[in-house]
A and B are shown apart, each in its own frame.
Chain A
Amino acid sequence: MRLGGPQVKRSGARQLVDVLFPQLATRAYRTAKMSDRKSVFESEFPSTLEDMADTLRRALEWLLDRRWIEKGEEFCARLCLEEALVNAVVHGNRGDQSRKVRLTVAEEGDCCRIAICDEGEGCCPEAARMPDAPAQRGRGLCLIRHFMDQVTYNREKHCLEMRMRRGAYTKGGSRHE
Protein backbone atom coordinates (compact mmCIF):
# COMPACT_ATOMS: atom_id res chain seq x y z
CA MET A 1 0.00 0.00 0.00
CA ARG A 2 1.23 3.48 -0.79
CA LEU A 3 -0.12 6.46 1.09
CA GLY A 4 -1.46 9.22 -1.13
CA GLY A 5 0.25 11.99 0.83
CA PRO A 6 2.21 12.62 3.97
CA GLN A 7 -0.82 12.22 6.21
CA VAL A 8 -0.68 10.09 9.32
CA LYS A 9 -3.40 7.50 9.88
CA ARG A 10 -5.37 7.87 13.11
CA SER A 11 -7.46 5.44 15.08
CA GLY A 12 -11.25 5.71 15.11
CA ALA A 13 -11.26 7.03 18.69
CA ARG A 14 -8.63 9.62 17.81
CA GLN A 15 -10.65 10.73 14.78
CA LEU A 16 -13.72 11.13 17.02
CA VAL A 17 -11.71 13.29 19.43
CA ASP A 18 -10.50 15.36 16.49
CA VAL A 19 -14.09 16.01 15.40
CA LEU A 20 -15.57 16.70 18.87
CA PHE A 21 -12.66 18.64 20.36
CA PRO A 22 -10.69 20.17 17.50
CA GLN A 23 -8.79 22.52 19.84
CA LEU A 24 -7.70 19.61 22.02
CA ALA A 25 -6.71 17.65 18.97
CA THR A 26 -4.64 20.53 17.65
CA ARG A 27 -2.93 20.99 21.04
CA ALA A 28 -2.23 17.26 21.30
CA TYR A 29 -0.85 17.28 17.77
CA ARG A 30 1.42 20.22 18.61
CA THR A 31 2.66 18.45 21.73
CA ALA A 32 3.34 15.34 19.69
CA LYS A 33 5.24 17.36 17.11
CA MET A 34 7.40 18.94 19.84
CA SER A 35 8.24 15.59 21.41
CA ASP A 36 8.88 14.14 17.96
CA ARG A 37 11.76 16.55 17.50
CA LYS A 38 13.77 14.51 20.01
CA SER A 39 13.10 11.36 18.02
CA VAL A 40 15.39 12.13 15.15
CA PHE A 41 18.53 10.52 13.80
CA GLU A 42 20.75 12.79 11.69
CA SER A 43 24.03 12.18 9.99
CA GLU A 44 26.07 14.06 7.41
CA PHE A 45 29.02 12.38 5.72
CA PRO A 46 31.42 12.79 2.78
CA SER A 47 30.62 10.84 -0.37
CA THR A 48 32.54 7.63 0.25
CA LEU A 49 31.08 4.13 0.49
CA GLU A 50 32.92 3.55 3.79
CA ASP A 51 31.30 6.60 5.40
CA MET A 52 28.00 5.54 3.87
CA ALA A 53 28.32 2.07 5.45
CA ASP A 54 29.06 3.60 8.86
CA THR A 55 26.01 5.85 8.67
CA LEU A 56 23.87 2.94 7.47
CA ARG A 57 24.99 0.82 10.45
CA ARG A 58 24.18 3.58 12.95
CA ALA A 59 20.82 4.36 11.35
CA LEU A 60 19.82 0.69 11.52
CA GLU A 61 20.84 0.57 15.19
CA TRP A 62 18.64 3.62 15.79
CA LEU A 63 15.69 2.01 13.98
CA LEU A 64 16.17 -1.14 16.07
CA ASP A 65 16.41 0.83 19.31
CA ARG A 66 13.25 2.76 18.47
CA ARG A 67 11.48 -0.51 17.51
CA TRP A 68 10.75 0.53 13.92
CA ILE A 69 12.27 -2.78 12.94
CA GLU A 70 12.92 -5.96 14.87
CA LYS A 71 16.23 -7.77 15.30
CA GLY A 72 16.72 -10.29 12.50
CA GLU A 73 14.07 -8.62 10.36
CA GLU A 74 16.04 -5.63 9.12
CA PHE A 75 16.24 -6.74 5.51
CA CYS A 76 13.70 -4.40 3.85
CA ALA A 77 14.65 -1.28 5.82
CA ARG A 78 18.35 -1.99 5.33
CA LEU A 79 17.88 -2.50 1.60
CA CYS A 80 15.91 0.73 1.12
CA LEU A 81 18.35 2.77 3.20
CA GLU A 82 21.41 1.36 1.44
CA GLU A 83 19.96 1.80 -2.05
CA ALA A 84 19.05 5.42 -1.34
CA LEU A 85 22.39 6.23 0.30
CA VAL A 86 24.44 4.55 -2.46
CA ASN A 87 22.43 6.46 -5.07
CA ALA A 88 23.22 9.74 -3.29
CA VAL A 89 26.95 8.93 -3.01
CA VAL A 90 27.52 7.36 -6.42
CA HIS A 91 24.96 8.97 -8.74
CA GLY A 92 24.02 12.16 -6.86
CA ASN A 93 27.41 13.38 -5.68
CA ARG A 94 29.34 11.18 -8.17
CA GLY A 95 31.73 10.10 -5.44
CA ASP A 96 33.02 13.66 -4.97
CA GLN A 97 34.22 13.60 -1.34
CA SER A 98 33.91 17.38 -1.02
CA ARG A 99 30.16 16.93 -1.44
CA LYS A 100 28.15 15.72 1.52
CA VAL A 101 25.20 13.38 1.91
CA ARG A 102 22.74 14.09 4.70
CA LEU A 103 20.49 11.45 6.23
CA THR A 104 17.56 12.35 8.48
CA VAL A 105 15.33 9.72 10.06
CA ALA A 106 12.44 11.23 12.00
CA GLU A 107 9.49 9.74 13.83
CA GLU A 108 6.16 11.25 12.80
CA GLY A 109 3.33 9.51 14.63
CA ASP A 110 3.02 5.97 13.32
CA CYS A 111 5.27 6.77 10.37
CA CYS A 112 9.01 7.05 10.12
CA ARG A 113 10.27 9.63 7.60
CA ILE A 114 13.64 8.97 6.01
CA ALA A 115 15.21 11.77 3.96
CA ILE A 116 18.46 11.45 2.00
CA CYS A 117 19.82 14.66 0.49
CA ASP A 118 22.86 15.05 -1.73
CA GLU A 119 24.69 18.00 -3.29
CA GLY A 120 24.62 16.73 -6.86
CA GLU A 121 22.83 17.85 -10.00
CA GLY A 122 19.56 16.09 -9.19
CA CYS A 123 17.88 13.26 -11.03
CA CYS A 124 14.42 12.08 -12.04
CA PRO A 125 13.47 9.20 -9.74
CA GLU A 126 9.79 9.49 -10.67
CA ALA A 127 10.66 8.30 -14.15
CA ALA A 128 12.50 5.24 -12.91
CA ARG A 129 10.98 1.91 -13.99
CA MET A 130 12.26 -1.58 -13.49
CA PRO A 131 15.07 -1.94 -16.04
CA ASP A 132 14.62 -4.51 -18.81
CA ALA A 133 18.20 -4.62 -20.02
CA PRO A 134 20.83 -6.20 -17.77
CA ALA A 135 23.20 -3.22 -17.95
CA GLN A 136 20.58 -0.64 -17.02
CA ARG A 137 20.53 1.02 -13.61
CA GLY A 138 17.52 1.85 -11.47
CA ARG A 139 16.77 -1.42 -9.72
CA GLY A 140 17.59 0.12 -6.33
CA LEU A 141 14.96 2.81 -6.65
CA CYS A 142 12.37 0.33 -7.87
CA LEU A 143 13.08 -1.81 -4.80
CA ILE A 144 12.62 1.25 -2.59
CA ARG A 145 9.29 1.98 -4.28
CA HIS A 146 8.20 -1.60 -3.71
CA PHE A 147 9.06 -1.78 -0.02
CA MET A 148 8.39 1.74 1.25
CA ASP A 149 4.89 3.11 1.92
CA GLN A 150 5.59 6.44 0.25
CA VAL A 151 8.49 7.76 -1.84
CA THR A 152 8.87 11.35 -3.05
CA TYR A 153 11.71 13.38 -4.53
CA ASN A 154 12.31 17.07 -3.85
CA ARG A 155 14.13 18.42 -6.89
CA GLU A 156 15.08 21.75 -5.30
CA LYS A 157 16.66 20.16 -2.24
CA HIS A 158 17.93 17.05 -4.07
CA CYS A 159 16.21 14.99 -1.39
CA LEU A 160 14.70 11.55 -1.66
CA GLU A 161 12.09 11.14 1.05
CA MET A 162 10.45 7.89 2.03
CA ARG A 163 8.05 6.83 4.73
CA MET A 164 7.59 3.53 6.49
CA ARG A 165 4.97 2.48 9.01
CA ARG A 166 5.80 0.80 12.29
CA GLY A 167 5.61 -2.98 12.17
CA ALA A 168 5.15 -3.15 8.41
CA TYR A 169 8.60 -4.63 7.93
CA THR A 170 8.52 -7.43 10.46
CA LYS A 171 7.50 -10.99 9.61
CA GLY A 172 3.79 -10.94 8.86
CA GLY A 173 3.82 -7.15 8.36
CA SER A 174 2.11 -5.78 5.28
CA ARG A 175 5.38 -4.76 3.59
CA HIS A 176 7.02 -8.09 4.31
CA GLU A 177 4.94 -9.99 1.78
Chain B
Amino acid sequence: MNNEAMMTFEEYGKLTVGTIQKASVLDALNVTRFGEEVLGHVKAHPGVNLMLDFHRVDYLSSAVLTELLRINEAVREAQGTLRLCSLNEDIRKVFEITNLNKILIIYDALEDALRRYARSLEVAAQEDAWSHVNRNP
Protein backbone atom coordinates (compact mmCIF):
# COMPACT_ATOMS: atom_id res chain seq x y z
CA MET B 1 0.00 0.00 0.00
CA ASN B 2 1.38 3.41 -0.89
CA ASN B 3 1.89 6.13 1.72
CA GLU B 4 -0.33 8.67 0.00
CA ALA B 5 -3.21 9.72 2.25
CA MET B 6 -6.56 8.12 1.53
CA MET B 7 -8.44 11.08 3.02
CA THR B 8 -8.34 14.85 2.64
CA PHE B 9 -9.82 17.20 5.24
CA GLU B 10 -11.03 20.71 4.39
CA GLU B 11 -12.59 23.29 6.68
CA TYR B 12 -15.79 25.12 5.76
CA GLY B 13 -16.38 27.53 8.64
CA LYS B 14 -17.31 25.42 11.66
CA LEU B 15 -17.48 22.27 9.56
CA THR B 16 -14.79 19.93 8.33
CA VAL B 17 -15.34 17.82 5.25
CA GLY B 18 -13.39 14.57 5.09
CA THR B 19 -13.34 13.23 1.54
CA ILE B 20 -12.30 9.71 0.62
CA GLN B 21 -9.98 10.47 -2.29
CA LYS B 22 -7.93 7.42 -3.05
CA ALA B 23 -10.41 4.57 -3.01
CA SER B 24 -13.59 3.86 -4.93
CA VAL B 25 -13.80 0.66 -2.92
CA LEU B 26 -13.80 0.55 0.87
CA ASP B 27 -13.45 -3.01 2.07
CA ALA B 28 -11.70 -5.33 4.52
CA LEU B 29 -8.34 -4.57 2.88
CA ASN B 30 -8.28 -0.79 3.38
CA VAL B 31 -10.75 -0.26 6.23
CA THR B 32 -7.96 -0.08 8.82
CA ARG B 33 -6.22 2.68 6.90
CA PHE B 34 -9.50 4.56 6.50
CA GLY B 35 -10.23 4.29 10.24
CA GLU B 36 -6.73 5.37 11.24
CA GLU B 37 -6.81 8.49 9.09
CA VAL B 38 -10.27 9.60 10.25
CA LEU B 39 -9.67 8.78 13.92
CA GLY B 40 -6.28 10.52 13.71
CA HIS B 41 -8.00 13.69 12.53
CA VAL B 42 -10.69 13.44 15.22
CA LYS B 43 -8.06 12.99 17.92
CA ALA B 44 -6.08 16.00 16.65
CA HIS B 45 -9.21 18.19 16.44
CA PRO B 46 -11.39 17.72 19.55
CA GLY B 47 -14.94 19.00 19.06
CA VAL B 48 -14.73 18.61 15.28
CA ASN B 49 -17.97 18.75 13.28
CA LEU B 50 -17.04 16.22 10.67
CA MET B 51 -18.80 15.44 7.42
CA LEU B 52 -17.54 12.36 5.59
CA ASP B 53 -18.08 12.75 1.86
CA PHE B 54 -18.51 9.42 0.02
CA HIS B 55 -19.02 10.78 -3.50
CA ARG B 56 -15.98 8.90 -4.84
CA VAL B 57 -16.94 5.62 -3.18
CA ASP B 58 -18.72 3.02 -5.32
CA TYR B 59 -18.66 0.13 -2.87
CA LEU B 60 -18.23 -0.62 0.82
CA SER B 61 -18.52 -3.74 2.96
CA SER B 62 -19.79 -4.33 6.50
CA ALA B 63 -16.26 -3.91 7.90
CA VAL B 64 -16.59 -0.24 6.98
CA LEU B 65 -19.95 0.02 8.74
CA THR B 66 -18.39 -1.22 11.96
CA GLU B 67 -15.53 1.26 11.51
CA LEU B 68 -18.00 4.12 10.97
CA LEU B 69 -19.72 3.25 14.25
CA ARG B 70 -16.34 3.33 16.01
CA ILE B 71 -15.62 6.72 14.44
CA ASN B 72 -19.04 7.99 15.53
CA GLU B 73 -18.32 6.95 19.13
CA ALA B 74 -14.89 8.61 19.04
CA VAL B 75 -16.31 11.84 17.64
CA ARG B 76 -18.99 11.97 20.35
CA GLU B 77 -16.43 11.30 23.08
CA ALA B 78 -14.42 14.23 21.67
CA GLN B 79 -17.57 16.44 21.97
CA GLY B 80 -17.92 16.62 18.20
CA THR B 81 -20.53 15.57 15.65
CA LEU B 82 -20.47 13.31 12.59
CA ARG B 83 -22.47 13.35 9.38
CA LEU B 84 -22.22 11.40 6.12
CA CYS B 85 -23.09 12.61 2.63
CA SER B 86 -23.11 11.68 -1.06
CA LEU B 87 -23.76 7.95 -0.63
CA ASN B 88 -24.72 6.19 -3.84
CA GLU B 89 -27.96 4.23 -4.13
CA ASP B 90 -26.39 0.83 -3.37
CA ILE B 91 -24.53 2.07 -0.30
CA ARG B 92 -27.63 3.84 1.02
CA LYS B 93 -29.47 0.53 0.72
CA VAL B 94 -26.81 -1.17 2.84
CA PHE B 95 -27.28 1.48 5.54
CA GLU B 96 -31.04 0.92 5.47
CA ILE B 97 -30.82 -2.87 5.68
CA THR B 98 -28.44 -2.69 8.63
CA ASN B 99 -30.48 0.10 10.31
CA LEU B 100 -27.40 2.30 10.45
CA ASN B 101 -29.42 5.08 8.84
CA LYS B 102 -31.14 5.33 12.26
CA ILE B 103 -27.85 5.73 14.10
CA LEU B 104 -25.85 7.88 11.69
CA ILE B 105 -27.19 11.08 10.11
CA ILE B 106 -26.94 10.91 6.32
CA TYR B 107 -27.37 13.82 3.91
CA ASP B 108 -27.55 13.95 0.11
CA ALA B 109 -25.07 15.91 -2.05
CA LEU B 110 -22.32 17.95 -0.37
CA GLU B 111 -23.62 21.46 -1.07
CA ASP B 112 -27.06 20.81 0.43
CA ALA B 113 -25.47 18.69 3.17
CA LEU B 114 -23.23 21.57 4.32
CA ARG B 115 -26.19 23.93 4.51
CA ARG B 116 -28.30 21.48 6.49
CA TYR B 117 -25.41 20.52 8.76
CA ALA B 118 -24.63 24.18 9.56
CA ARG B 119 -28.32 24.84 10.24
CA SER B 120 -28.61 21.82 12.57
CA LEU B 121 -25.60 23.07 14.57
CA GLU B 122 -27.19 26.54 14.86
CA VAL B 123 -30.45 25.02 16.13
CA ALA B 124 -28.55 22.84 18.60
CA ALA B 125 -26.63 25.88 19.88
CA GLN B 126 -29.88 27.86 20.31
CA GLU B 127 -31.52 24.97 22.17
CA ASP B 128 -28.46 24.70 24.37
CA ALA B 129 -28.61 28.44 25.13
CA TRP B 130 -32.33 28.24 26.00
CA SER B 131 -31.85 25.25 28.25
CA HIS B 132 -29.06 27.18 29.99
CA VAL B 133 -31.44 30.14 30.52
CA ASN B 134 -34.16 27.82 31.84
CA ARG B 135 -31.74 26.21 34.26
CA ASN B 136 -30.47 29.60 35.49
CA PRO B 137 -33.40 32.05 35.23
**Contact residues of A with B, CB < 8 Å?**
49-50, 52-53, 75-76, 78-79, 82-83, 86, 90, 130, 134-135, 137, 139-140, 142-143, 146, 177
Contacts and interface: CB of A to CB of B under 8 A. Distances in A.
Interface string B57-87: 0110111011001101100000000000000
Given A134-B70, A139-B62, A142-B98, 12 more contacts: A49-B29, A52-B28, A79-B61, A86-B61, A86-B63, A130-B97, A134-B72, A135-B66, A137-B66, A140-B63, A142-B97, A143-B62
Nearest to A86: B28
Given A75-B90, A134-B69, A140-B62, A49 B28 contact: yes
A50 B1 CA distance: 12
Nearest to B61: A82
Interface residues of B, number: 21
A140 B61 contact: yes
A153 to B, nearest CB: 18
A75 B91 CA distance: 9
Contacts of B69: 134-135
A156 B112 CA distance: 53
A33 B29 CA distance: 37
Nearest to B63: A86
A83 B61 contact: yes
22 contacts: A49-B28, A49-B29, A50-B29, A52-B28, A53-B29, A75-B90, A76-B90, A79-B61, A79-B94, A82-B61, A86-B28, A86-B61, A130-B97, A134-B72, A134-B73, A135-B66, A139-B65, A140-B63, A142-B98, A143-B62, A143-B94, A146-B97
A139 B66 contact: yes
B3 interface: no
B108 interface: no
Contact of A134 (B27, B29, B103): B103
Contact of A139 (B59, B90, B98): B98
Interface string B92-122: 0110011100010000000000000000000
Nearest to B97: A146
Contacts of B61: 79, 82-83, 86, 140
A142 B93 CA distance: 13
Contact of B59 (A52, A78, A130): A78
Interface in B29-61: 29, 58-59, 61
A21 to B, nearest CB: 44
Contacts of A140: 61-63
Contacts of B62: 83, 139-140, 143
Most-contacted residue by chain B among A50, A76, A78, A139 (CB, 10 A): A139
